[in-house]
Amino acid sequence: MVSFFERFFELQKKIHQMLFNRVPFSAGDLIYILLGIALIYSLITLFKKKKRACSLIRILIIINIFYFTYQVFWGMLYFQPPVIKKLSSQEKPEVNKAKRLATIYLERCKQTRQSVQEDDQGRFIITDLESIQQEILHQQTKLPSYISDKKTTQVLSIKPSLFKNVMSFTGILGYYNPFTAEAQYNSELPSTFIPFTTAHETSHQLGFAREQEANFIGYLIGVHSNNPELRYSTEYFTLKSLLRFIAEEDPEFVKSALHNYSPAMKRDRAYEKEFVFNHQGWLDDFFGFTNNLFLKSNQQEGSVTYSYFIDLLLNYEK
């Protein structure tokens, strides 16, 4: 059944991308807005005695159709065999190995950072986002065959979310819309986030449903790229992920690594921290809680524990 839904996903993705990729805005977000309006209208009419029964039935119908469609288009892909089973080695992640790799990626980040552009405050900026997106599609065709046998459509269906202002306060960097096959990202994010976030969301477009597997495929897309902006964003994400993993066992190593960031990397880190600080609030806590429930209900680790990406990374690098 999972194999059937994988094939069905490829079919509906092609159809959806043919229908929506030329739309200049996010068609999926528009669908969510219309759905939200329908639900709000139905909730309001619940208070009217004459329409109460009809409104309740309408709400249940909308929710059931939405959930059924989601499961058919996307939800069943969470039951695919884990990517880690495709790697020759499946050892548990070790802190010492993570330290060695973190040291390597720190040096890579320093070197790649010198190849990208800065704004007048010395922070990394993206100069050509479309070339990054085209490079991502190109790198999808070069993924190792033993890891990915997914079909690449080479259709550029990557769009900024209409909800970017709200997303900045939720901690959500991007998302894949299974109803339109669009990859969405928050265009308000610091530039260090955007290239890798885009690679991550296009990994969902390929059919990798699990969040940490999409991170790993995004890593494979970006780390071998000739585009310095995509490569820097990917290397920087990888370094931060390794340091978060190491911090539980050896916080002093992490402090030393942060101290050894290049001045340019320190400026990028400071801007990320400033962005997060300026967008903290109850929405961030709420979406963190709901995202944790969502991940656990779809055969994944919760949002707090992200060690599966480290599992994949260390076993692949070995």
- Looking at this protein, which amino acid is placed at residue 173? L
Whether 106 and 73 share a structural domain = no
pLDDT at residue 285, rounded to an integer: 53
Rounded-to-integer distance, Cα 119 and Cα 230, Å: 17
pLDDT at residue 294, rounded to an integer: 46
Rounded-to-integer distance, Cα 300 and Cα 93, Å: 17
pLDDT at residue 301, rounded to an integer: 55
Among 55, 78, 101, give the residue marking a domain's end. 78
pLDDT at residue 12, rounded to an integer: 94
Q: Give the residue carrying structure tokens 């000739």.
A: 226
Whether 44 and 137 share a structural domain = no
Q: By the 8 A CB rule, do 199 and 295 touch?
A: no
pLDDT at residue 304, rounded to an integer: 40
> DSSP label at 81?
P
Rounded-to-integer distance, Cα 172 and Cα 201, Å: 12
Cα–Cα distances (Å) from 220 to 41, 100, 205, 238, in that order, read 45, 19, 15, 11
Low-confidence ranges of the chain (pLDDT < 50): 283, 286-287, 289-291, 294-295, 299, 302-305
Helix (H) or strand (E) holding 61, with range, is: helix 52-73
- Where residue 184 falls (left for φ over 0; alpha for ψ -120 to 50; beta otherwise) is beta
Whether 98 and 73 share a structural domain = no
Q: By the 8 A CB rule, do 189 and 197 touch?
A: yes
Among 26, 61, 78, give the residue marking a domain's end. 78
Whether 186 and 146 share a structural domain = yes
Domain that holds residue 32: 2-78
pLDDT digits (tens, 9 = 90+) for 134-185: 999 999 999 999 999 888 888 899 999 999 988 888 888 999 999 999 999 9
Total number of domains constituting the chain: 2
Angle between helices 2-20 and 27-45 (to 10 degrees): 100
pLDDT at residue 149, rounded to an integer: 87
Task: Give the pair of three-digit tokens for residue 80.
Answer: 């695919």
